[in-house]
Amino acid sequence: MRCTSEIGYDSVSGCIFLYGCQSKSPYNIIQWLRESVALKKNMSLIYLDSEFIDWLCDRLIREAPECVCAGELLCGIRDLSEGIIENVLLGTAGNEQAFDGFNDDTLCIRNLVIYPKRRKVLLGKVKIDLTPTEFDILYFLARNRGVVFSKEQIYRAVWGEGVLFTDSNIMAFIRKLRKKIEPDPDKPEYILTVWGSGYKITDLP
């Protein structure tokens, strides 16, 4: 295990251990994740008591993040504490593996416009703020419009091979994407569920 005074990473189990961090900036944690752990690493955050979770979430909300994975760390910790997911996958940049063979042409799907080079998404004239992983998933599905992908196929495309697959992470990201881009998340028009198979971006005009 590699450790700092506050954080440890077990390269065998893929677990992050956080402890005694209340006196430190939460961005020490983010910086450590960025520098010491490979991008797109499957991680479980454990040994988090309720006081530490509340403290870290509060700091992440109140202070401007120093790297782009801060928002995903906040959402991931919340989901972990509520039992929605079992582990967290963080990335500090887009994963080129998801875009092999893709060009940077703008994608237009109904009122949804995706600008790959700028990693920007508009719904009508409204800018949609997505985390890096949310963008990667949306772009992967949109670039393959109408094609049905299983949860595992999406997982491998965005995070790459050699990462432990769990259904709950993909389902959580799809749910968050729908909340941001769907007029009615309960009746999605863009990201469609194909029961028994997976998800696809609508191919209807």
Question: Do 129 and 179 fall within a single domain?
Answer: yes
* 1 or 104, greater pLDDT: 104
Q: What is the pLDDT of residue 154?
A: 92
d(CA 12, CA 150): 27
**How far apart are the C-alpha atoms of 149 and 42, rounded to whole Å?**
21
Q: Could you give the CA distance from residue 198 to residue 152 in angstroms, rounded to a whole number? A: 9
- Do residue 82 and residue 114 come from a single domain? no
Q: What pLDDT digit, counting tens, does each position of 141-174 carry? A: 999 999 999 999 998 888 876 666 678 889 999 9
Query: Does the pLDDT at position 193 exceed 80?
Result: yes
Q: Are residues 74 and 109 in the same domain?
A: no
Confidence of residue 99 (pLDDT cuts 50, 70, 90): very low
Q: How confident is the model at residue 117 (pLDDT cuts 50, 70, 90)?
A: confident
Instruction: Note whether 133 and 58 are same-domain residues.
Output: no
Q: Looking at 63-67, 155-159, 200-204, which range is the least confident one? A: 63-67
- Report, in angstroms and rounded to the nearest whole number, the Rg of the chain calculated over CA atoms: 17
Q: What is the pLDDT of residues 12-33, one digit of tens each?
A: 444 454 544 444 455 555 555 5
Q: Return the amino acid letter for 170.
A: I
Give every strand in the sheet of 7-10, ordered side by side: 2-3, 7-10, 15-18, 41-46, 88-90
86 shares its domain with 141: no
Answer whether 125's CB lies under 8 Å from 103's CB: no
Please tell me the least confidently modeled range out of 66-70, 96-100, 130-134: 96-100
Note whether 104 and 166 are same-domain residues.
yes
Co-location of 104 and 48 in the same domain:
no
Domain range spanning residue 106? 96-201
CATH number reported for the structural domain that contains residue 124 in this entry: 1.10.10.10
Mean pLDDT of 36-56: 57
Supply the pTM of this predicted model.
Answer: 0.57
Q: Is the dihedral of CA 185, 186, 190, 195 positive or negative?
A: positive
**pLDDT-derived band of residue 195, with 50, 70 and 90 as boundaries?**
very high
The residue among 168, 167, 142, 137 whose CA lies nearest residue 154 is: 137
